[in-house]
Chain A
Amino acid sequence: MKVNGVAQPAPADPRRLLSDHLRHDLGLTGTHVGCEHGVCGCCTVLFDGAPVRSCLMLAVQAEGHDVTTIEGLAASDEPLHPVQQAFHECHGLQCGFCTPGFVMSVVGLLHEHPDPTPEQVDEGISGNLCRCTGYASIRRAVRRAAELTQK
């Protein structure tokens, strides 16, 4: 499998979840693990470009596929990805635990809807839980991310 563009071997143990493989075997701890049953959205990564829950996939299933994690959006010496920049500008995070999942979901949302309606924004982030912000600033961040992406 390719993780952030780099070829990686699949784990030997088939019961290794993709989320655990990313964190424990590859050290990519930007992918967070909250509920481990698909409800919270913290572990969202891009699988062949589309956002999926990494806690609901076995790592062996990613063999032959492209996985992008939050670390893959922008290198540390590069400017932030537009979605990261928008969350920063709009205060779309507080404690930050849910943020990587939100950012990956929003990357997927803007790929499908570059100029989303308010309904599409709500639908697009409805699968991610944030217990700090109350979502208003996250909604603003999605709008801002759409502007930054279109520039």
Chain B
Amino acid sequence: MKPPHFEYHAPTSVEEACALLSSLEDAKVLAGGQSLVPLLNFRLARPAHLVDINRIPNLDRIYERDGGVAVQALARQADVEDSQLAARRCPLLVSAVRLVAHRVIRNRGTVCGSLAHADPASELPAVLLALRGHVVARSTRGSRIIPAGDFFTGVMETRLAHDELLVEAWFPASTGRFAIAEESRRHGDFALAGAVRYGDRLALFGVAPTPVLADRIDPTHGLQPSGDLEASPEFRLHLVRVLTEKVFAA
């Protein structure tokens, strides 16, 4: 249970980080490390290079942009949880962050890291999708905005190119009715299934390779969730129906 060999890089600017990502073969970005380091410890990930962005100053801001909340790459989940701005502008984001693992993990884990990691059972990708937010990707080629609907492409796969750094996520103001609900075996575990409601929109997580938008009237339409030791596909579909009812009753 020790990380495999890698070459360690600690850039001190976004430009330097992007230059490293564009020149290195098989590099991974290390931000909070709460998903990546377990993968390294299990040796499920064996990147040749780690680009640790934690030494980059002024990349941890949570600020108001275009009426919503922008969260930079090094803003910790705990900081978003405690942010007055996020509580005022995007309370759905704060509710969702509280469901991510435990406070001790959130002290280190980042919102942008959860999005880039794109675990299908994680909450924040579904929130970004339900709110129609976006991420900002930077590389030596420039900067681009990727809408949530285009960003998640598969299990732990996103539209980010190998040389791109996710520098910011943007969550539109969530002033309408919202709710998030999930079912997990133990408090803080990954969800067996979850539902996010914003207004009339419904996003589901844990039941497909990516978070998906669904119709509240027929939320399981077209879903083919996988089964594992913890939940059968049928049970996950049942949870989707129950959780959908729950978030729309809220």
Residues of A within 8 A of B (CB): 14-15, 17, 20, 36-38, 41, 44, 47, 50-53, 55-58, 60-61, 105, 108-109, 123-124, 126-127
Question: Do A17 and B34 touch (CB < 8 A)?
Answer: no
Question: Do B8 and A56 touch (CB < 8 A)?
Answer: no
Question: Do B34 and A56 touch (CB < 8 A)?
Answer: yes
Question: Do A58 and B8 touch (CB < 8 A)?
Answer: yes
Bound form: Cα–Cα A66–B188 in Å:
27
Question: Which one, B99-107, B123-131, B220-228, is touching chain A?
Answer: B99-107
From DSSP, what is the main secondary structure of chain A's interface residues?
mixed
Given A37-B42, A53-B104, A57-B33, 16 additional A-B pairs, CB 8 A: A14-B8, A15-B6, A37-B41, A51-B103, A52-B107, A53-B34, A56-B37, A56-B38, A56-B105, A57-B37, A58-B30, A60-B52, A61-B33, A61-B52, A127-B102, A127-B103
Residues of B within 8 A of A (CB): 1-8, 10, 30, 33-34, 37-38, 40-42, 50, 52, 54, 78, 101-105, 107-108, 187-188
Contact of A38 among B3, B34, B78 (CB under 8 A): B34
Bound form: Cα–Cα A121–B8 in Å:
38
Q: Which chain B residues border A20 with CB–CB below 8 Å?
A: 2
The smallest beta-carbon distance between B137 and chain A, in angstroms, is 24
Contact of A126 among B54, B78, B187 (CB under 8 A): B187
Bound form: Cα–Cα A18–B108 in Å:
14
Q: Which chain B residues border A38 with CB–CB below 8 Å?
A: 34, 37-38, 101, 105
The smallest beta-carbon distance between B106 and chain A, in angstroms, is 9
